Amino acid sequence: MQSLYVEGNSAMHRLSPRVKLLSLAIFSVVLFISTDIALLSIAMLLAAVVYGIVGLPLRDALRRLRPVFLTIAVVAFFNLIFNPWHDAVVTLLRLTTLMLLAAAVTATTTITQFIDEVTALARPLERTGWVQPDDIGLSLGLVLRFVPEVIDRYQAIREAHRARGLKVRPTTVLAPLIILTLRDADNIAAAIDARRIRRHVS
Amino acid sequence: MDIRFEGAGVSFGARVALEPLTLGISGKRIGVIGLNGSGKTTFARLINGLTKPSVGRVTVNGRDMADEKAAAPDVGFIFQSPQNQIILPIVRDDIAFGLKRRGFTKTEIEAKVDGVLARFGAQALADRRAHELSGGELQVAALCSVLATGPSILILDEPTNQLDLKNRALVEKIITGLPESAIVITHDLDLVADFERVLLFHEGRLAADAPAAEAIARYREIAA
């Protein structure tokens, strides 16, 4: 999400992030109610129109979808092998529709808006005493911030293996990756405390 | 700045990280030097309230830093690894995050974020991703995030660590120009050479509390 936001002033940009996220959640459920190919095709076309509103050049718009669409195609392909063709088409249409809608929401919602909305939506759960909504927002931000760092660290460990002439094995890569990530997690937690980000709300 | 250590010390089980220390700190620039594991960072974490003293107490501007509710954000802390200090992906969002949690309005937040970026001439960093910043840029972004909340005292732990000469000069220039009081922990002796007061720690004890030249000379003796 961090690199997928597109500056703009489209109808999707102007729409409240809450409406966008709730609509996406509702569509995710509704799409799985129907198995009618005609209906799902219309839904997919509408989703494509919504994605088109974002204002991305066609080439960029397609490039963004490629990795997810390839995954959907693989899922649909296996469905085609093991299930009737109708099921495969339904799966393809449902997931493609969801991908288009999610891409539209992602391209028109900043990370801050996303965190704020998720925090606000979790606010009613605060009364149960089980959930701290501000922490949920913070956790989301941390995931988005540090996933690229963990990937970089993974690459560095792989390169260290190669530099020493060692074969890269999951077991020898994962252990140092987990240890280094946990060590950094301690430092990040200290930084959060030092900035009084959690202490202030508790 | 009015920092007081009143017999404050830290132990982790049998291991003494910092012997009980009684000390008053005021002034604009304080350097902290010493070998690795000498107690420098423990000393600094006590001032920020990140580490609680096992004995004694530490007060900052009259507030006991062991009391989380009383500990106001008087002390900003820049860690050795600024990449771990920036907790949201986009620099502007990260600076705004600390302010938002302190209850500032949207307009106030925007003004403060723009103000702190302008202060360091770092407007170009505003919409950059933290993951893509260089070491010097990360250090500046971390400074902006901390200073946006208006601490009167800033602790910098190894601020020039892993920086090239250009970025080191940039950070040194920023530290020199800070209106806030600064406590700088460093192995970079040139950085504190002009400081009015330098504290030297050795094996968990304060080994020297002197003007920079004297403390550095003593440090060289210890390290020899």
pLDDT tens, position by position, A26-43:
999 999 898 999 999 999
Residue B109 neighbours by CB under 8 Å, 6+ apart: B96, B99, B100
A153 and A71 in a single domain? The answer is: no
- The answer on A104 and A135 residing in a single domain is no
pLDDT for res A111: 83
Q: How confident is the model at residue A201 (pLDDT cuts 50, 70, 90)?
A: very low
Which of A48, A78, A109 delimits the end of a domain?
Answer: A109
- Out of A42, A75, A109, a domain closes at A109
Query: Which stretch of DSSP H or E encloses residue B31?
Result: strand B29-34
How close A39 comes to chain B (CA, Å)? 39
Please give, rounded to a whole number of angstroms, the shortest distance from the CA of B201 to a CA of chain A.
23
Q: Which residue of B has its CA nearest to A199?
A: B68
On the CB side of B167, how many CA atoms lie within 13 Å of its CA?
15
Task: Looking at the structure, tell me whether residues A32 and A92 fall in a common domain.
Answer: yes
- A104 and A138 both lie in a single domain: no
In eight-state DSSP terms, residue B39 is: S
Same domain, A74 and A134: no
Contacts of A110 in chain B (CB under 8 A): 93
Q: Are residues A79 and A146 in the same domain?
A: no
Backbone CA torsion sign across A46, A48, A54, A57: negative
CA distance B212 to chain A (A): 28
Compute mean pLDDT per 10 residues along chain B, 224 residues long, and list them.
Answer: 92 90 92 93 90 92 78 78 86 89 88 92 89 87 90 90 84 88 93 93 94 94 89
Q: Same domain, yes or no, for A92 and A132?
A: no
Query: Is the pLDDT assigned to residue A202 strictly greater than 50?
Result: no
Contacts of A117 in chain B (CB under 8 A): none
A199 lies in a domain?
Answer: no
Split into its structural domains, chain A has a count of 2
Q: How many CA atoms does the CB half-sphere of A7 hold within 13 Å?
A: 1
Residue A74 belongs to some domain of the structure: yes
Same-domain status, A99 and A146: no
Q: Is B51 helix (H, G, I), strand (E, B) or coil?
A: coil
Nearest to B87 among A112, A145, A200 (CB): A145
Is A118 among the domain residues?
no
Q: Is the separation of the CB atoms in B208 and B25 below 8 Å?
A: no
Are both A98 and A25 inside the same structural domain?
yes
Q: Is A183 on the interface with B (CB under 8 A)?
A: no
Cβ separation of B89 and A2 shorter than 8 Å?
yes
**What is the pTM (predicted TM-score) of this model?**
0.76
Domain that holds residue A159: 126-194
Q: For residue A187, what pLDDT is reported? A: 85
Please name the member of B48, B79, B89 whose beta carbon is closest to the beta carbon of A145: B89
Shared domain for A31 and A69, answered yes or no, is yes
B145 to chain A: nearest residue by CA? A195
Chain B positions touching A2 (Cβ under 8 A) are 89-90, 129
Residues A83 and A134 grouped into a single domain: no
Boundary (domain end) residue, out of A65, A84, A109 = A109
Q: What is the pLDDT of residue A1?
A: 47
With an 8 Å Cβ cutoff, is B48 touching chain A?
A: yes
Q: Is residue A44 part of a domain?
A: yes
Reported as a single tens digit per residue, the pLDDT across A139-198 is 888 888 888 888 888 988 988 888 788 888 888 888 889 988 888 888 888 888 888 776
- The DSSP bridge pattern shows strands B55-60 and B63-64 to be antiparallel
| Residue B81 in tokens | 């690894």
Of B50, B68, B89, the CB nearest to A111: B89
When pLDDT is cut at 50, 70 and 90, the band that residue A3 belongs to is low
Instruction: Kindly identify which residue of chain B lies nearest to residue A2, measuring between CA atoms.
Output: B89
Same domain, A103 and A18: yes
